Amino acid sequence: MTYVLAPPAIVSLPVAGSDLRFPVRRIFCVGRNYAEHAREMGYDPEREPPFFFDKPAGALIEGNGDVPYPSQTSRLEHEAELVAALAQGGRDVDPSSALDLVWGYAIGNDLTRRDLQAEAKKLGRPWTMAKGFDGSAVCGPIHPVAHVGHVTSGPISLSVNELVRQSGAISDMIWTVSEVIAALSKLVELKSGDLIYTGTPSGVGPLVPGDIVEISIGVLGSISNRVRHR
């Protein structure tokens, strides 16, 4: 095969405690998966099935990398999230076996141009430029299930300049990781290498250049990123 252009490099993430890398295929994200966060965004969390949006794989910022403050926004916000990384795909996956697809877990930050998102909601427009911009998907190293087990409980927290902004529990998810995988697999055929950001607890808020953002999730440890001017 001869391509007319050099094909893009495979996007990948480090595997914790290893020199190996996890190849990333797609990035899916769940909206409003913690009740307190749904309420802070002005929604009733009780009766809503999970919904999804996505980010391009090229939007990843790896591990402790710097976050460039994006263009065309004056309201960049953090969202600390558990990320599930899939070893296998599937369609119409049963929730009882959905965790069998997970290769590992990571700490993520679903960065959001909140002002553009609010405008998109108001006008009924897509969220793509609010959620899928360059550098919008921070993700730490992937911790294999073989080492850390399945992450179904434990604390999740985020601090900015050492002040805690978000503090929640993985067990507070409205839809569990199993249920999220099952629901998403009804909409698309999942594939190995897919990442799923599983939603953020309450306390989302703004970031400015110079901020140091630290996110911790129980057994996964923590990641730290500095926000810088583009």
Give CA–CA dist 146/150, Å, rounded. 9
SS3 content of the chain, % helix, strand, coil (to 5): 20, 35, 40
The smaller minimum CB distance to Mn ion, of residues 15 and 32, is found at 32
Q: Which residues, in sequence order, are CB contacts of 65 under 8 Å at separation 6+?
A: 138, 225
Alpha helix stretches (DSSP H) within 50-163: 114-123, 128-131, 145-148
The smaller minimum CB distance to Mn ion, of residues 50 and 144, is found at 50
Least distance (Å) between residue 61 CB and Mn ion = 15
Q: Quick one: DSSP state of residue 48?
A: P
The smaller minimum CB distance to Mn ion, of residues 15 and 130, is found at 130
200 touches Mn ion by CB under 5 A: yes
194 touches Mn ion by CB under 5 A: no
Q: What track of x and - describes contact with Mn ion for positions 150 through 169 (by CB under 5 A)? A: --------------------
Taking the CB of residue 144, how many other CB atoms lie within 10 A of it? 19
Q: What track of x and - describes contact with Mn ion for positions 37 through 76 (by CB under 5 A)? A: ----------------------------------------
Distances (CA, A) of 93 to 34, 148, 187, 189, 193: 23, 23, 11, 9, 16
Residue nearest to Mn ion (CB): 110
* Residues 136, 127 contacting (CB under 8 angstroms): no
Which part of the chain contacts Mn ion (CB under 5 A), choosing from 48-56, 78-86, 147-155, 167-175?
Answer: 78-86
Q: Which of 77, 110, 194, 214 binds Mn ion (CB under 5 A)?
A: 110
Q: Which of 77, 79, 194, 214 binds Mn ion (CB under 5 A)?
A: 79
Q: What are phi and psi of 139, to 5 degrees?
A: -145, 125
The smaller minimum CB distance to Mn ion, of residues 110 and 194, is found at 110
Least distance (Å) between residue 85 CB and Mn ion = 16
Which residue ranges make up the site for Mn ion (CB under 5 A)?
79, 110, 200
